[in-house]
Amino acid sequence: MNNQKFDIAYRRKLLYKRKRRRQVLFRLSILLTGFGLIFLILLLNKEPPINKKIISTSSDNKIIVCIDPGHGDWDTGAKSNSGDFEKDIVLNVSLKLGKLLEEEGIKVVYTRTNDSLPWLETANDSLKERIKIPEIFKADIFISIHCNSNYEDTNVKGTETWYKANDENSKALASSLQNSIINLNYSSDRGIKTYGNKEDALAVLELNESISALIELGFLSNTSDEKYLKSTKGQEASAKAIKEGILNYINSYKDTILKERSNKDVKNIPITSTLKLFY
């Protein structure tokens, strides 16, 4: 028999030990919860994934251009008669354009640099992420590059450039781009266009805080536009023409661009689900 069980001093000692153990466990759990919370905060503050090319925003006066090759991944965009996808053609033109702009000392950011859209599961997420990229990098100019199609009338062809409604900066940029591209003379001039009401608005323009324009290089449903836009020569020439359109705009409106840059932080444009992501 062990009488220690009934010994008060021993029981007190035992209780004290248990109390100490509880205190240590309690402190340990507080510490772990703290670490967990810090980890969670760091995780939530992480920026969205962006393809390969990332630049840091800087306080110098270098112009930052965000190039948006339309579509990507499962979203092929228009399809040509011979089975080529818009997403591939516009990516080629975009990467060539980026190189040319960098040679001119312009900082370039892309919404994608390959066929993947690492951030998205749905089109709505894509919308938000696509717009976030120029916002995160404080891009001064945003150029979305697309190709058109019209299989009801395959004779329809030509280049058109879209601008943000009621935005003179966007309109001037679109004019400069359109003029430069039509000088290539590979197709007809469909002019610059904008949407009449918010329901028809193009999200990449309407929600964009950068001075933005969306180019439709030509119709993949039209044999002659398709042939030109598929060729390396056509893609190189298009990239060069877009570069020149951007440079002409920058040269004429540098003060406006820098003024817009300083205004950016005060704007707050709500995202609505009624806007079209692509055209």
**Interface residue list for Zn ion (CB under 5 A):** 70, 77, 146, 278
Nearest residue to Zn ion by CB is: 146
C-beta of 203: minimal distance to Zn ion in Å?
12
Distance CA 241, CA 233 (A): 12
C-beta of 160: minimal distance to Zn ion in Å?
12
C-beta of 77: minimal distance to Zn ion in Å?
4
C-beta of 126: minimal distance to Zn ion in Å?
13
Distance CA 100, CA 222 (A): 28
**Cβ closest to Zn ion, residue 186 vs residue 219:** 219
Distance CA 127, CA 160 (A): 22
Angle between helices 223-230 and 232-263 (to 10 degrees): 80
**Which run of H or E residues covers position 142?**
strand 141-148
**Cβ closest to Zn ion, residue 137 vs residue 278:** 278
User: Strand 107-110 vs strand 189-193: parallel, antiparallel, or unpaired?
Assistant: unpaired
Distance CA 193, CA 243 (A): 20
**Cβ closest to Zn ion, residue 79 vs residue 132:** 79
Angle between helices 168-182 and 232-263 (to 10 degrees): 160
C-beta of 147: minimal distance to Zn ion in Å?
6
**Cβ closest to Zn ion, residue 219 vs residue 278:** 278
**Cβ closest to Zn ion, residue 77 vs residue 98:** 77
